[in-house]
Amino acid sequence: MWLEIFLASVLGFVIYWFISQDKEETLPLEDGWWGPGTRPTAREDESIRPFKVETSDEEINNISQRVEKHFLTPERFRIKYGLLTSYVGEIVHVWNFKYLIWLFQVTALAKYRDFLHSLIWLDIHFIHVKPPQLPSSCSPKPLLMVHGWPGSFYEFYKIIPFLTDPKNHGLSDEHVFEVICPSIPGYSFSEASSKKGFDSVATARIFYKLMLRLGFQEFYIQGGDWGSLICTNMAQMVPRRVKGLHLNMAFVLRNFFILTVLLGRRFGGLFGYSKRDIELMYPFKEKFFYSIMRESGYMHIQSTKPDTVGCALNDSPVGLAAYILEKFSTWTNSEFRNLEDGGLERKYSLDDLLTNVMLYWTTGTIVSSQRYYKENLGQGLMAHKHERMKVHVPTGFAAFPSELLHAPEKWLKFKYPKLVSYSFMACGGHFAAFEEPELLAQDIRKFVSALEWQ
Ligand SMILES: *[C@@H]1O[C@H](CO)[C@@H](O)[C@H](O)[C@H]1NC(C)=O
């Protein structure tokens, strides 16, 4: 009899263990308080207010004076130890002549309607673009797109028409989207947190509430850079609400994978790496080790002492432009670091690049945007629960060949077991939506089709 009880208990425990293993863990949907001072007792104003990006003669004169008074280190020899000073000089020239008509660009920004909405006592800025026309018997699919650093909601300006109005942009109207692009709190027009600890999970919570407030019970989400992490956290928080998660970058590197990469050249097939994976990952020293060393200095600074360098950047528009544009150069294509002009105008117009810089400068948000690294990475890697959690939402991934670190399908599947589409993209790097809007839009559509087909 005791033996039966014992065996039954063991069996019960084994069954419980299996079930609990299978349990899809979710991130708690807590209620944070990020505004200044103590939490007011009054109910939060939940209205959504139209918002317009504005400038004034005074603002333009201020920038103009600072740009004119810039001082650049004389170049003693032409070698690239970062962005070439003489090229920065050229940008400044353009800025003085053309760009100071920020007023004009503000009109360009007004292409889409902006809104402000107070959430958890922070003012959140977003643009909301509805399809100009809809085929009959078709409702638009809500899609939240989240930017990263040093980008902004402006990165999505060129991809939006491919998603909201595909027919007029050479794509079929099988999927028509309604696009919402918020600004991360502390970036451009979204208010920065007044409390320490505002990280990707807190951001995910706010953006989820924004979607609910806009009336979307279920939606698609998309992101690269911080946007990738924020969207991943949303999927971990409210998996039933997220119909699909599409990423063009993923935080999936594990120690074990590094070991397989070291051995992988010879035994690649054994570890599940495809021929294309091998092309994108080797030579290991160059594409992995040196690449991380060369490109992660900023991350070390920003996740330890963001305010110190922030003082300088917030005081000089030219310094700020150099700091931000260097990222747009090397993260678009690592080979661009060898070009005198950083290759910036091969993929972007200076107007678009400087609009993004101006969004940081005019709002004075470079410091709060850098603090986001401290809040997310300041305690070290893998310090947060969400980093060890899997994601149980159908996922699509676009692997752009010039992304900083290639993420093979094998790695993606470990974190995102419901990976339904993985694409090797023809060209493009880290700022996919900004650089290759049509390709990214096509992959989002491919993913949504694969999902609906299932
Ligand atoms: C222009 O600069 C002055 C002095 O630095 C400052 O007090 C003022 O707030 C600035 N105005 C705008 C609109 O940026």
Residue 215: pLDDT over 70: yes
333 pLDDT band, cuts 50/70/90, is: very high
pLDDT of residue 75: 77
Residue 101: pLDDT over 70: no
CA of 104 to the centre of ligand 1 (A): 20
Segment 424-441 mean pLDDT: 98
Helix (H, G, I), strand (E, B) or coil at 421: strand
CA of 320 to the centre of ligand 1 (A): 18
Query: DSSP letters along 251-304, please?
Result: ----HHHHHHHHHHHHHGGGGT--HHHHHHH-SHIIIIIIHHHHH-HHHHHHTT
230 pLDDT band, cuts 50/70/90, is: very high
Residue 20: pLDDT over 80: no
Residue 332: pLDDT over 90: yes
Q: Which range in 17-31, 39-53, 142-156, 324-338 is most confidently predicted, on average pLDDT? A: 142-156
Is 327 within a domain?
A: no
Q: Which two tokens stand for residue 93?
A: 């020239």
DSSP 192: P
Q: Does any ligand 1 atom lie closer than 6 A to the CB of residue 62?
A: yes
Residue 391: pLDDT over 70: yes
The better pLDDT of the pair 7, 222 is held by 222
pLDDT of residue 18: 57
Give the number of other Cβ atoms within 10 Å of residue 12's Cβ.
Answer: 10
Catalytic residue (choose from 87, 154, 360, 373): 373
Say what percent of the chain tops pLDDT 90. Answer: 57
Is 400 within a domain?
A: yes
Segment 253-270 mean pLDDT: 79
CA distance 406 to 426: 14
How would you classify the pairing of strands 395-399 and 419-424? parallel
Is 373 among the catalytic positions?
yes
| Least confident span in 47-51, 175-179, 416-420 | 47-51
The better pLDDT of the pair 96, 308 is held by 308
Is 225 among the catalytic positions?
yes
Cα distances from 388 to residues 85, 147, 244, 313, in angstroms, run 42, 23, 20, 35
Say which residues have a Cβ less than 8 Å from residue 277's Cβ, sequence separation at least 6: 268, 406, 408, 409, 410
Cα distances from 129 to residues 105, 111, 144, 171, 441, in angstroms, run 19, 10, 11, 18, 15
The better pLDDT of the pair 388, 431 is held by 431
**Which residue type is seen at 20?**
S
**Which residue type is seen at 244?**
G
| Least confident span in 96-100, 240-244, 260-264, 317-321 | 96-100
Work out the mean pLDDT of the chain and round it to a whole number: 89
Using the atom order of ligand 1, give the atom closest to the CA of residue 62: 1
**Which residue type is seen at 149?**
W
Give residue-wise pLDDT tens across range 83-94: 888 888 888 887
236 pLDDT band, cuts 50/70/90, is: very high
Say which residues have a Cβ less than 8 Å from residue 244's Cβ, sequence separation at least 6: 220, 221, 393, 394, 395, 396, 447, 448, 451
Give residue-wise pLDDT tens across range 338-355: 888 889 999 999 889 988
Q: Which range in 11-25, 47-61, 361-375 is most confidently predicted, on average pLDDT? A: 361-375
pLDDT of residue 240: 97
Is 374 within a domain?
A: yes
CA dihedral 243, 138, 109, 246 (to 10 degrees): 20
- Domain of 434, CATH number, reads 3.40.50.1820
CA distance 309 to 71: 17
286 pLDDT band, cuts 50/70/90, is: confident
Lookup result for tokens 């609910």: 212
Q: Does any ligand 1 atom lie closer than 6 A to the CB of residue 59?
A: yes
Triad 124, 130, 131: Cα angle to 5°: 160
The better pLDDT of the pair 270, 410 is held by 410
Q: Does any ligand 1 atom lie closer than 6 A to the CB of residue 56?
A: yes
* Exposed/middle/buried for residue 220 (C-beta within 10 Å: 0-12, 13-18, 19+): buried
Say which residues have a Cβ less than 8 Å from residue 237's Cβ, sequence separation at least 6: 26, 27, 28, 29, 201, 204, 205, 208
Is 244 within a domain?
A: yes
**Which residue type is seen at 267?**
F
Residue 43: pLDDT over 90: no
pLDDT of residue 134: 81
103 pLDDT band, cuts 50/70/90, is: low
How would you classify the pairing of strands 122-129 and 114-119? antiparallel
Residue 390: pLDDT over 70: yes
Residue 371: pLDDT over 90: yes
Using the atom order of ligand 1, give the atom closest to the CA of residue 362: 14
Helix (H, G, I), strand (E, B) or coil at 318: helix
CA of 106 to the centre of ligand 1 (A): 18
Q: Does any ligand 1 atom lie closer than 6 A to the CB of residue 58?
A: yes
Is 190 within a domain?
A: yes
Domains: count for the chain: 1
What is the span of the domain harbouring residue 279?
Answer: 111-314+364-453
Is 77 within a domain?
A: no
Catalytic residue (choose from 225, 277, 348, 386): 225
pLDDT of residue 350: 87
Segment 194-212 mean pLDDT: 95
| Least confident span in 43-57, 225-239, 351-365 | 43-57
Residue 47: pLDDT over 80: yes
DSSP 110: T
13 pLDDT band, cuts 50/70/90, is: low
Cβ(190)–Cβ(214) under 8 Å? no
Is 292 within a domain?
A: yes
Residue 11: pLDDT over 60: yes
Say what percent of the chain tops pLDDT 70. Answer: 92
Cβ(129)–Cβ(407) under 8 Å? no
Predicted TM-score of the model (pTM): 0.92
CA of 322 to the centre of ligand 1 (A): 22
| Least confident span in 12-16, 61-65, 332-336 | 12-16
241 pLDDT band, cuts 50/70/90, is: very high
Is 141 within a domain?
A: yes
Residue nearest to atom 6 of ligand 1 (CA): 62
Cβ(53)–Cβ(154) under 8 Å? no
